[in-house]
Amino acid sequence: MLSLANRQPILGPTKFTRPGEYDVEQFIHELSDSYTVKKERVRTETVRIYDTFDWRLFNKSLVLYSSGDKLHLRKLSEREILYSVTIPSVPVFVWEFPSSRLKEQLAAVLDVRALLKLAEIHSRSMPYSLLDREGKTVVRLVYEEIRSSRDRKAPSLAAHLRLEPVRGYSKHFQRIARRFEQAGLTVSTEDEIYFKGLKASDKTPGSYSSKLAFQLDPAMRADEAAKVILRFLLRVLQVNAVHIEKDIDTEFIHDFRVAVRRTRAALGQIRSVFPAETTERFKKDFAFVGQLTNELRDLDVCLLKEDAYKAKVAPVLRKDIEPLFDYLRKKRSEAFQKVIRGLKSKRVATVLKDWEVFLDTSPQDSPVAANAGVPAITLAQKRIFRKYKSAVKAGTRISENADDKMLHVLRIHCKKLRYLMEFFASLFHPEAINSLIDQLKRLQDNLGDFNDLRVQEEYLLTVARQLPVNREGSEKIFLAIGSLVGALAGDRKLVKNAFAETFADFAAPANKELFQNLFAGQTSLRTHDNTGHL
Amino acid sequence: MTTLAIYSNKGGVGKTAAAVNLSYLAARTGMKTLLCDLDPQGSATYYFRVKPKLRSGAKGLIKGGKQVFRSVKRTDYENLDLLPADFSLRNLDIRFNKLKRPQKRLRRILAPFRDEYDLILLDCPVTISILAENIFNAADFTLVPLIPTTLSLRTHRQLLSFCKKKNFDVGRIYVFFSMVDRHKKMHRELLAAAPKMLKGVLESPIPYLAQVEKMGIHREPVVVFSPGSEASRSYQNLWDRIHEIVRSTDASDVTVPPGIPL
């Protein structure tokens, strides 16, 4: 709560909270000693709050809400509306929006994620005009009650008096604001309704993110640290699994896959912290869970790129590629059903249940695995530095005419290194580790683009073999696919050309020194003798 | 943004009643509108129940800038603001005359409002001097109310020759008939003949009606206190014609109102 006493005169609309048993009618009546109080017509309004599942707008301090047929975007804790559009119903994806500044702003934040209606708030406003001796409105006063349902008996989430200045009559506004304060009303924070509305709908802003967010302790046992990481990943996996079935957008399956991949990487890279047979079993199990979704993700990637692909096809063949996407869409719906069946299968249920039980079991006092009792920081440093060295070694061997397989090997090394750095990021100085992650990310982007293009070319060629050809003239589709594959191969060449320079940055002595300082310098932290095989 | 002056070099022709109702109707279509009451009698200001007071009076107005900005009052109607009259405006002509290059001063005074409003309406006093020149320089269009009498037409011809002499584009002057009494033969005949005699006649006359005079009692636009009346319909017709003219020349978008603050 803010106090009026220490503030500059407020000139914008100001909300005042109503103390619990405060008689608003009585208070407004008391104002009639200086003004004629005119009661205006009661207004009701429904406000809907939107965001993505992973709170992309909230994370950028943005609030998107509809009121009537208007959709507004504003900054959290700021009154001013950035952009508004008139829209009959709120689209799910940003590309469905009409061209506008709002669309541009949202596109940068939402990307391919669906907009979800997270809360609905119902407001009932009783406006009053305060008139001077001329009968002119000099201040407006609105008593507003907010509920999460239209039912007036439903408990009110918030009730406040909103004082609205009238241009040219600021003295009256300030006079009444002072009277409010003397009567014990306090200025309420601007986003109270946003948070209360979401809370009433059981939503907590920022509650989900696929980004790794946990704090490890350098001295904690490595097996405990591994379990913290893996429990977080399991939660991400479970949250997304629940939503995959609703087929809201492609990112639930994507986040699910990333969590599976990270789990597999953690099992493989945070070595010898669990009994060998346990690690082996779950490595296999999660490989199985991951491959269940491979086909669906490949199809999603192709369909998300539909417009970009069409633009790459030679203009004369552009309409001939249309049937390819119809075919992919059909295949996608089959693949989607397959994923749903797979995720509901007994095997997946058993894997996830057994995994949860294992993660929730407290570690034994005398560790069985060689690295289980090692301090987390020691294991983290050793593993990261070793992986960095293997990445540099693998990259150095790649010459201009090197086989594409070598790039693939380097990509896998880098991926594992990235995961390790992210798993243990909380043990290091954020600035230092983040700058190294950024450097690595640049290399990964290059390798990732190269791999994506290669996979897409192969995928399109595979699909071409499966395409049913029974219409006359349909052979043109193969020409169109050929044209697209040719364009992708051209792009891939450009990406490959950029590799040498990107890798040189990554493997540069200065960067190596940073890696060394952070991951090979603090051997004194080692407190356990049983270092085992790292 | 468009500036529209409601001007007459003859008094008592229904100029202020038109300014008040047209500005209200413009605001109702969603246009951010500013009505400037330049008449020291302050009738438009009175109709909107605002005190006739400018910060630093006519002197402040001529200086322009912050003081003028801070003198603006929001009326009781959405999108409609008023720059009130002030008794000191009676000396506006003299004050303009004292300036070095006075003809375009009003245009300069209004310049800061161009970004904020879609339409600026000027309710002008009876004048055919340096103030009139300022008005013609500031306005994109001028709207002249005429009572259908021979004397009124004569006065209008005087205005047109004044404009020609001063090189103002007479093509931007529009005329509408005001206080029309269909019981009078002369009114009927002139109304019928006018489009041939004059250019820029908007065929949406405002009849002489008691409802319009009652604006002084209600202190509201007639469109507000008597929406279904003949007077309201007449002003609506007139506004529709003017709106077409404004729209045909001004492509700027009307801003979307922000809705309730969440």
Residue A401 has pLDDT above 80, yes or no: no
Contact flag A47-B260 (C-beta cutoff 8 Å): yes
Looking at the fold, whether A173 and A228 belong to one and the same domain comes out as: no
Contact flag A125-B260 (C-beta cutoff 8 Å): yes
Question: Residue B98 has what pLDDT?
Answer: 87
CA-nearest of B201, B154, B177 to B14 is B177
Looking at the fold, whether A264 and A192 belong to one and the same domain comes out as: no
B260 → chain A, closest CA residue: A67
From the list B76, B259, B261, the residue facing A13 with the nearest CB is B261
Looking at the fold, whether A260 and A186 belong to one and the same domain comes out as: no
Q: Give the closest-approach CA distance of A532 to chain B in angstroms.
A: 59
- pLDDT (average), residues A385-390: 93
CA-nearest of A258, A252, A295 to A112 is A252
Question: Residue A22 has what pLDDT?
Answer: 65
Mean pLDDT, chain B, as a whole number? Answer: 90
From the list A63, A81, A137, the residue facing B258 with the nearest CB is A81
In one letter, which amino acid is B188? Answer: R
From the list A45, A63, A167, the residue facing B72 with the nearest CB is A167
Contact flag A169-B73 (C-beta cutoff 8 Å): yes
Residue B238 φ then ψ, to 5°: -60, -45
Looking at the fold, whether A300 and A340 belong to one and the same domain comes out as: yes
Contact flag B259-A166 (C-beta cutoff 8 Å): no
Contacts of B48 in chain A (CB under 8 A): 136
HSE (side-chain half, CA atoms, 13 Å) at B50: 31
- pLDDT (average), residues A41-55: 94
pLDDT tens-digit readout, B49-97: 999 999 988 888 988 888 898 999 999 999 999 999 999 999 888 888 8
Contacts of B70 in chain A (CB under 8 A): 168
User: Can you say whether residue B145 is alpha, beta or left, with left for phi > 0 and alpha for psi between -120 and 50 degrees?
Assistant: beta
**Residue of A72, A122, A142, A188 to mutate, interface with B, max B Cβ within 10 Å:** A72
CATH number at residue A318: 1.40.20.10
Which of A149, A167, A200 is the last residue before a domain boundary?
A: A200
CA distances from A354 to A7, A277, A347 (A): 59, 14, 11
Put simply, whether B259 touches A (Cβ < 8 Å) is yes
Contacts of A70 in chain B (CB under 8 A): 256-259
Dig out the tokens for B32 from the structure.
């951010």
Q: Give the closest-approach CA distance of A20 to chain B in angstroms.
A: 21
CATH number at residue A137: 2.40.320.10
Q: How many CB pairs under 8 A join A and B?
A: 58
Put simply, whether B49 touches A (Cβ < 8 Å) is yes
Contacts of A123 in chain B (CB under 8 A): 260
The number of folded domains in chain A is 2
Residue A526 has pLDDT above 90, yes or no: no
Looking at the fold, whether A505 and A411 belong to one and the same domain comes out as: yes
Q: A-side interface with B, Cβ within 8 Å? A: 13, 45, 47, 49, 63, 65, 67-68, 70, 72, 74, 79, 81, 84-86, 123, 125, 129, 134-137, 162, 166-169, 193-194
pLDDT tens-digit readout, B37-49: 999 999 999 999 9
From the list A47, A136, A137, the residue facing B262 with the nearest CB is A47
Sorting pLDDT into bands at 50, 70 and 90, what band is B102?
A: confident
Contact flag B262-A79 (C-beta cutoff 8 Å): no
Distance CA A441, CA A270 (A): 21
In sequence order, the β-bridge partners of residue A66 are A48, A71
Contact flag B76-A129 (C-beta cutoff 8 Å): yes
Put simply, whether B71 touches A (Cβ < 8 Å) is yes
Output DSSP code: residue B252. Answer: P
Q: Is residue A412 packed enough to be buried (19+ CB in 10 Å), middle (13-18) or exposed (0-12)?
A: middle
Spatial neighbors of A54 by CB under 8 A, at least 6 apart, are A113, A208, A209, A210, A251, A255
Rg for chain B (alpha carbons), in Å?
Answer: 18
Distance CA B235, CA B239 (A): 6
Mean pLDDT lowest among A5-19, A246-260, A267-281, B218-232:
A5-19
| β-bridge pairing A43-51 and A116-131 | antiparallel
Mean pLDDT lowest among A256-265, A425-434, B94-103:
B94-103
In a domain, A214, yes or no: no
Q: Which helix (H) or strand (E) holds B159?
A: helix B150-165
Spatial neighbors of A499 by CB under 8 A, at least 6 apart, are A398, A407, A446, A447, A450
ipTM: 0.85
In a domain, A209, yes or no: no
Looking at the fold, whether A410 and A477 belong to one and the same domain comes out as: yes
What CATH superfamily is the domain B2-249? Answer: P-loop containing nucleotide triphosphate hydrolases (3.40.50.300)
Looking at the fold, whether A254 and A175 belong to one and the same domain comes out as: no
Looking at mean pLDDT, say which of A85-94, A178-187, A502-511 comes out highest.
Answer: A85-94
DSSP 3-state of A292? coil
Contact flag A136-B49 (C-beta cutoff 8 Å): yes
Contacts of A172 in chain B (CB under 8 A): none
Looking at the fold, whether A258 and A356 belong to one and the same domain comes out as: yes
In a domain, A282, yes or no: yes
Looking at the fold, whether A107 and A250 belong to one and the same domain comes out as: no
Q: Give the closest-approach CA distance of B261 to chain A in angstroms.
A: 7
- pLDDT (average), residues B138-163: 93
- pLDDT (average), residues A97-124: 94
Looking at the fold, whether A273 and A338 belong to one and the same domain comes out as: yes
- pLDDT (average), residues A104-133: 94
Q: Are A144 and A48 in contact (CB under 8 A)?
A: no
Contact flag B73-A193 (C-beta cutoff 8 Å): no
pLDDT tens-digit readout, A245-263: 999 999 999 999 999 999 9
Instruction: Note down the domain range covering A496.
Output: 222-525
Looking at the fold, whether A309 and A407 belong to one and the same domain comes out as: yes
Q: Are A382 and A342 in contact (CB under 8 A)?
A: no
Sorting pLDDT into bands at 50, 70 and 90, what band is B253?
A: very low
Contact flag A169-B81 (C-beta cutoff 8 Å): no
Question: Residue A267 has what pLDDT?
Answer: 96
Looking at the fold, whether A419 and A292 belong to one and the same domain comes out as: yes
Contacts of B72 in chain A (CB under 8 A): 167-168
Given the structure tokens 């300082």, which residue do they identify? A517
